[in-house]
Amino acid sequence: MFIYIVFLLFISYHISLGQYDLSNVASGTKMSVNDDMFVSASNTFSNFAVLMHPYRNATAGGSIRCNMRYNTTDRFVHSVAVVGIAKNSTIQEQFMFVFAAERMSTMTPYVCIGTIASINSTCVYKYQCTDMAAPGSHQEYFLIGVDTNGTYAYGFTSTFAFKLDIYANQLIVNTTTQSMWPGQGFIPHALDAADTWAVVAGYEYTIAYKQDYETYACLIDLMTFKNASCVQVTTETTFLIPGDVVSYLASYELSVSIRGNKVIVGVPRIATVTVLYNLGTSLNISRINTLSSIDSTSVGRIVDWADDTTIAILVEDPYETSWSTTQIFFYDERSITTASPIFSFPNNQQILGSRLLRPSFARFSITSKGNMAILTSNADILIIPNAPAGYASRWIDTTDRVFVFYYQPKLCIGGTYKNLTSLGPCQICPPNTQNPGTLTSGITQCIPCSNDSSNSFCPLASLTDIDLSTVHSYSQSLAYPETGDTTDVENLLVKNVFQISSNPHCLLISPILWTGVVVALCILVLIFMSITHALKCKAFIECGKKAKKIFKQTDIIGEGEMWMGGLATLAILVLVSFAYWFSVSFIRRYPIEEVLEPATFACDETLVNSQFSTGLQLLTIPKSQEAQPIFDLLDQQTFNLTIELINTGFTCNSVTTQENLRNSKYVPLSMDCQQSIIDATTSVTIPLPKHDTTVQINMTGPYWIGGIRLCIRGQGRISTSYTLRELDFCEFYTTSNQAIGRLTSIPITFIRNINMTQGLSESDSTLYSGLWMPTFSTIDLSDEDYYVEFGNYLRYTSSLTVIQVILDEHPFYIKNIQQPIVRTPELIFHGLLFTSLCIELFAFSFLIIKLFIMPVYRWGFYLWKKLRNLCHKSDDSDTSTSSTRKSSKLKGKVNKTSTSRSDSFTFNQSEDDEHRSYATSEIELDSIQTICRF
């Protein structure tokens, strides 16, 4: 018999354990809060956690924490509801709350009033309990609430309901629910009470077979304690499992919250939030919002009003975050869609500390003043006060072994502002505005940046106005010179010697100009000597003879036979001197790396004695023994990667660096970090372990980055005729009026640039120089499109910003060859040829004068003389024809005689010419006379 009794007790104990899950703080309402008091129940530890003045700041004394033990292990608390400061308190501060519970051994439901006070730093408390039903009346859902006046407590189950006078500890109403619910199968799941009315949400089956349950919200008149009306809050037709509706199942939970005359009901099973309006005698559905597109196991298990127009919704594991497996989304009541949250909690400004180990939120509640409290699945408590404009409530880290964690209003961080009172984070400053984050008062509007938009860098979330000239890009990469059109030294000499231009510089150095000046002087000398000879000035004639003798000695054109050739020799010397000056200056302009000054000896001041060729070659092709050392130097060069975070609030303490390996593995890298608060710039320098690698920079915190300047530097080295050039490249990355995205990958491809400079003479060695040239690709830097598509609140859901720099080497290299256009021996040879050319040109000029110009001159002079004689004959036409003929013949002879005596001009006429002159007809004389008259 004894064994039988023990067996029955054992069975009943296990049945009891199955009905009462002590560790589950999500079922029922294990937490309640108002602006004066917070209470949470822990059935596991048989304890109430009580906070008096939970939102009072530290300067006013802070909150008071107390633990109220159950004083029995035979108690399961279903729901709690706070009253706050007792109205009839006989001491300074006495707080009250009510809770609905059961004795697990007898399954007897009862209600209790808990009173607690802190006296001399000691928590004093007591309970007053009243049984509500007979033993064996287990309630899966036992709801309790307190009206907004804090006078009465109301309890609802599927079988009974009651009204309790809190201060008198007296049941006003204790009745069954046959006439209250829409039917006998109604199972209440959630409750919220106003001053004179309440709303109870639950499930009701529609037919006698206890199937086809539907979701209802019932309006309860708390004055008459009767059901005013019930309304179906969803339009679903999905079959509900009766067992899951009657017993506790998280996905079948419901939640209710009242604000004024508005009511919201959360139905997590179908991710639906319904907004209703109390018309006085009935509830009217305003909107039914479904958020089924959110990738979540539960949406709306808890809902609440954050203010008169903002709704807070609990969402289970919407995205992988580093803080919690749940988030609270805040929506405008008129726009509840997947991409329309105003903000979410936690976020990168309002984090959860690592002490909580990514908890799940079991319950949360928001007070009438907008303060929020959260109870986690581990029974930890979060207290988040409503923050005024210019402030955001942020996590206060602690090392104490506590179960209550506080947030405190703090100034908006740099690059953000806040223009209203709310639980949310500060918003990022719009483009062309800034917040340095160093102000001592809250900022409700960001400060305008400089109006000089051309040189101002002030994108989204700026801390300061950056001068773009201080963060410009620069590169050592230069286009390899192209060889000019003329690469032949003869052409260069001819082009630069026989060139004249209106440009003052070109005119001043023009060989033709100065040669022309010398030629002009020679002509003046020639004219002077002719005049002195004509005037028969003996002194000048003697000097002229000596000068002619000297000029004959310097004649290189006629080989000493012409004194005028000596004058021309002076012009040749001037022309050749300029040519030699050009040649000597030109040959020195090699190689191009050593040409530091302009070519003042030529019109083209960029003229160099270099010709160039370039091309790509495959790295796998074997290199010559002479060229291999420059490749070895390039491979041995160490790169230093510097990443400058421009216009950011990230500090050195929030930055880590790593080298990514294969299979998601990585190794940390050492770094040198420098920060300028004034310039809002953080610079990180990393020595790269190799050229072909992936480096990742991790930045943790609630800040953004306006721009990135990525610099690659490396030391140079010289080894005999091989020069490894110093590496120094910087590239500035930004996106117009936007911040850099949370994950940015920057690919950089390096290519070897080999310059081979051949010697000016055959004995000179070939010089090699090498430089790594990075290629920066155009990348997408902004997440703006992502935020537009999936919600602007996502800007604040991550506190990790990652920049990956992917380095790679090109399989080809650039080979540039520089060689002189002309070397010294060749230039000497061409100089001699040019001298010979100049002499021949002048000799040819004399030949042209002798063969063509002088004969034409003599013939013209002869014709002029003849024409003049004929004109004289026509003047004597009154004489007889015979006399005229004789006179003309006589004048012709005299003219012929005088002409033959001239040293400068000698004309030989043939016999035929004399006969023709005598045989001139009278008709010809008349024609000549006519010409003379004209």
Q: What is the pLDDT of residue 561?
A: 61
Are 782 and 905 in the same domain? no
Which stretch of 328-332, 493-497, 810-814 has the lowest confidence by average pLDDT?
493-497
13-61 residue pLDDT tens = 444 445 788 888 888 889 999 999 999 999 999 999 999 999 999 888 8
Cα–Cα distance between 858 and 856 in angstroms, integer? 5
Q: What is the pTM of this model?
A: 0.77
The residue type found at 292 is S
Which stretch of 396-400, 701-705, 754-758 has the lowest confidence by average pLDDT?
396-400
Higher-pLDDT residue of 349, 912:
349
Q: Answer yes or no: is 633 within a domain.
A: yes
Q: How many CA atoms lie within 13 A of 681 on its CB side?
A: 19
Tell whether the torsion through CA atoms of 881, 882, 883 and 885 is positive or negative.
Answer: positive
Are 501 and 600 in the same domain? yes
Q: Answer yes or no: is 494 within a domain.
A: yes
Of 819, 839, 868, the residue at which a domain comes to its end is 819
Q: Answer yes or no: is 65 within a domain.
A: no
Are 805 and 698 in the same domain? yes
Are 525 and 659 in the same domain? no
**What percentage of the chain has pLDDT greater than the value 70?**
84
| pLDDT exceeds cutoff 80 at 820 | yes
CB-based contacts of 468-476 (< 8 A; 24+ apart in sequence): 470/679, 471/644, 471/646, 471/707, 471/709, 471/732, 472/730, 472/732, 473/709, 473/730, 473/731, 473/732, 474/728, 474/729, 474/730, 475/729, 475/730, 475/731, 476/725, 476/727, 476/728, 476/729, 476/771, 476/773
Phi-psi category of 402—alpha, beta or left, where left has phi over 0 and alpha has psi -120 to 50? beta
Q: What is the pLDDT of residue 760?
A: 84
Are 627 and 750 in the same domain? yes
> How many structural domains is the chain composed of?
3
SS3 241: coil
Q: Please state the separation of Cα 362 from the chain's center in Å.
A: 40
Residue 291, C-beta contacts closer than 8 angstroms, at least 6 positions apart: 271, 272, 273, 299, 300, 313, 315, 336, 337, 338
Cα–Cα distance between 127 and 97 in angstroms, integer? 10
Tell whether the torsion through CA atoms of 342, 446, 386 and 369 is positive or negative.
Answer: negative
Q: Answer yes or no: is 927 within a domain.
A: yes
Of 541, 576, 609, the residue at which a domain comes to its end is 609
846-881 residue pLDDT tens = 777 777 777 887 788 788 888 878 876 666 554 444
Q: What is the pLDDT of residue 530?
A: 72
Q: Answer yes or no: is 5 within a domain.
A: no
Q: Answer yes or no: is 53 within a domain.
A: no
Cα–Cα distance between 582 and 579 in angstroms, integer? 5
Cα–Cα distance between 150 and 134 in angstroms, integer? 28
Confidence class of residue 500 from pLDDT cuts 50, 70 and 90?
A: confident
Q: Answer yes or no: is 303 within a domain.
A: no
Are 592 and 629 in the same domain? no
Token pair 């009253």 is found at: 83
Give residue 858's domain range: 852-933
The residue type found at 587 is I
Cα–Cα distance between 555 and 550 in angstroms, integer? 9
* Two structure tokens written together for 131: 């049984």
The residue type found at 191 is L
Q: What is the pLDDT of residue 886?
A: 42
Are 667 and 804 in the same domain? yes
Q: What is the pLDDT of residue 860?
A: 81
Are 634 and 541 in the same domain? no
Phi, psi values for residue 670, rounded to 5°: -75, 155
647-692 residue pLDDT tens = 999 999 999 999 999 888 999 999 999 999 999 999 999 999 999 9
Are 619 and 603 in the same domain? no
SS3 628: helix
Are 628 and 716 in the same domain? yes
597-609 residue pLDDT tens = 887 777 777 788 8
295-333 residue pLDDT tens = 777 899 999 999 999 999 999 877 768 899 999 999 999
Q: What is the pLDDT of residue 874?
A: 64
SS3 48: strand
Are 552 and 589 in the same domain? yes
Are 808 and 905 in the same domain? no
Q: Answer yes or no: is 525 within a domain.
A: yes
* Two structure tokens written together for 503: 């440009």
Summarize the confidence of residues 797-803 as an average pLDDT.
92
